[in-house]
Structure 1
Amino acid sequence: MQSESTLSGLPEIPGVVNNLPDPRVRERNRVYNDPIVDVPIIENKSKFNFLPMFYSALYYPMIKPIEYFQKFADTIRVKKPRRYYHHKYPRVPNIWECSVEDYVCVYEAEAQFRRDQKVDQEIIEVIKRRLTACQVQNQNVDMEKCKEIKMLDQQATHAWQVKYGDIGSALTARKVLQKQKNRYIEDRYLARVAGSS
């Protein structure tokens, strides 16, 4: 067997005592030279073993029928699609097109409004991520390259603020409709005041 110093690739240096052992040699010795431990096999003194019989007595009348039923149910079950990100909901009438007593129409309009609000919020997040990526790519030096994305971000943020801003945490389609109505009334009033003066 070779000595540890020649295995590690270092020549023996005369006058140097107690070289550090090579960790590769130590690991090899640990893996291959450890004593093998024999695990004793315990044999049953009796030929009759109760546990497999008890397991079979429980498994076949109780668990096996349930497995068969689950397999049968899986064959007739309608497989739901796993991807929902391309799901297109049919457009329903908006809240201002619904009658006051038509609760189903109002509920569908509210649900459509919540989906539209989430889509608008996600659009703003995507634009902000693009702006951040452009600024990082250009190292905040050349802002002319990011000018279009910055303008788009400002327009989208302003449009979101005009539609959803200053309403509070409980956003509903009715509140947004009232805000839009008040904004139209204010614009007409300011146009009338500017025209009369």
Structure 2
Amino acid sequence: MKMPEDANQRNPLGRFINAVSATLDAPVVWFRERIVEPNRQSYPWYHQKFRRVPTIDECYTDDYVCQMEANLQFKRDRLVDNDILHILRLRFEDCVLYEGPESKEKCKGLYDEYQKAAENWFIKYGDLGAYGGARDAYMKQKHRMIWERRHGPVGSGMKETAPEA
């Protein structure tokens, strides 16, 4: 005995469930195929482009939406900078492995580029911790600028203060 292609067609309850399902599902499928998908921009999820938003110093103190957007933008920028630093580190390590004993001379350019990027990363994101946001980075930048105005570049030591008469 040969089984029919769709076993539910013999069962009245199965036919009823299929009919109700098709009645409820058909308008949804029609709307998605005819309205939603033709009007949707298609782009790969890994190339999603976010518009730049105002930074935290451009937001008013009571504009919480602007502050949240600035914080999300800051976190996206930190992820990008982390990945750039990671790629530079991997390039330097690959160069050292490939060049062997001559790596000090041949990989010096990569090492200098990595060190400069790491220094810039630390200037912007260092000591903020895992939960540091745009406001914390802005305060860190402000305090660094005040320090440099009073004492010179960070790492050069403090200026000698003139003895008071």
The bucket for the TM-score relative to the shorter chain is 0.7 to 0.9
Label 1:50 to 1:56 Cα distance change in 2 as closer, same or farther (>3 A): closer
Counterpart check, 1:62 vs 2:28: no
TM-score (norm 1): 0.65
102, 108, 117: which one aligns with 1:142: 102
Asked whether the equivalents of residues 8 and 15 of structure 2 are also in contact (C-alpha less than 8 Å), the reply is no
Counterpart check, 1:108 vs 2:69: yes
Larger radius of gyration: 1
* Aligned mates of 2:49, 2:16 — CA distance in 1: 52
**Cα displacement string for residues 128-186 of structure 1 (whole angstroms, at most 9, x for unaligned residues):** 12112222222x32212211111111111111111111122211111111111111122
Residue 132 of structure 1 is matched in structure 2 by 93
Quote the offset at 1:80 in angstroms: 5.1
Counterpart check, 1:170 vs 2:128: no
Q: Which structure would you say has the larger RCO, counting Cα contacts within 8 Å and 6 or more residues apart?
A: 2
Higher helix share: 2
* Aligned mates of 1:90, 1:57 — CA distance in 2: 50
Residue 34 of structure 1 is matched in structure 2 by none
Give the secondary-structure state (helix, strand or coil) at the position aligned to 1:193. Answer: coil
Aligned-pair identity (%): 30
Quote the offset at 1:67 in angstroms: 4.0
Residue 193 of structure 1 is matched in structure 2 by 159
TM-score (norm 2): 0.76
Q: Which shifted more, 74-83 or 128-137?
A: 74-83
* Aligned mates of 1:58, 1:115 — CA distance in 2: 48
Counterpart check, 1:52 vs 2:52: no
Give unpaired runs (5+ residues) of structure 1: 1-40, 44-48
Aligned residues: 150
Asked whether the equivalents of residues 59 and 66 of structure 2 are also in contact (C-alpha less than 8 Å), the reply is yes
Quote the offset at 1:91 in angstroms: 2.0
The within-5 A match list for 1:29-108 is: 52-54=10-12, 55-59=14-18, 61-75=19-33, 76-78=35-37, 79=40, 81-108=42-69
